[in-house]
Amino acid sequence: KFGSLKPFQSYLLLQSNSFISTLYCMPKRDMSQFVYQLNFEVATKLCQHLVPSVIE
């Protein structure tokens, strides 16, 4: 479903993980599940907005 968007999502996840980990000063292992879920929802919405034809 998101095959063609993986590079974009990977970049977004990497950037957001760095930012959130720094912002909250928490170890990544404590944040990882929360951050992953949050980023997946954000990436999905963003991708739906940017590339609606791919997500049908």
SS (H, E, C) 10-34: HHHHHHHHHHHHHHHCCCHHHHHHH
Tell me the pTM.
Answer: 0.28
Give the total number of structural domains in the chain: 1
pLDDT in tens, the chain (56 residues): 445 556 666 677 676 666 665 555 545 555 566 667 777 777 777 666 665 555 44
In a domain, 55, yes or no: no
In a domain, 27, yes or no: yes
Range of the domain at 18: 3-49
The token duo for 28 is: 């990544």
Distance CA 35, CA 53 (A): 27
* 3-class SS of residue 53: coil
In a domain, 54, yes or no: no
* 3-class SS of residue 42: helix
Single out the residue of 46, 56, 55, 48 nearest to residue 11, CA to CA. Answer: 46
